[in-house]
Amino acid sequence: MRVETRLTGDTLVARIEGELDLLVTDEFREQVDRLLRETGSRKLLLDLASVSFLDSTGIGAILGRYRKLKEKGGAMAILRPQVQVHHVLEISGVVRVVEVFSEESAALKTLREGGKLS
């Protein structure tokens, strides 16, 4: 798994690459939490376009980041998940609390305006 990040406005855009399972979820949590801390950002856009596999362990890590941000008044969105990853996001109920976008500009605009309230 690789995590590439950049700060766009006040949103941390994290592009994840690889398979998000038990093997890498600790690293995923640590990297994303550290980057949020270092940048001081409370808005996170997870770009999942290059994530080829996601299971319940990965879902737990994604929702953990969502909860942390929500507690701090922040927001989170997901960008361009592949079909099979989107399927898992749907069944797990993630899409009910975290908005999924196909266009980065629309995701950034929504996050700028405060993100999905739930």
d(CA 77, CA 28): 16
Query: Binding of other proteins at residue 97 (CB under 8 A)?
Result: yes
Binding mask 17-46 for other proteins (x = CB under 8 A): --x-xxx-----x-----------------
Residues 45-74 that bind other proteins (CB under 8 A): 53, 55-57, 59-61, 63-64, 67
Phi, psi (degrees; rounded to nearest 5) at 85: -70, -40
Candidate segments 5-13, 72-80, 86-94, 99-107, binder of other proteins by CB under 8 A: 86-94
Phi, psi (degrees; rounded to nearest 5) at 73: 80, 15
Q: How near is the Cβ of 99 to other proteins at its closest, in Å?
A: 16
Q: Is the dihedral of CA 48, 94, 107, 30 positive or negative?
A: negative
SS3 107: helix
Residue 94, amino acid: V
**Residues at the site binding other proteins, with contacts judged by CB under 8 A:** 19, 21-23, 29, 53, 55-57, 59-61, 63-64, 67, 83-84, 87-88, 91-94, 96-97
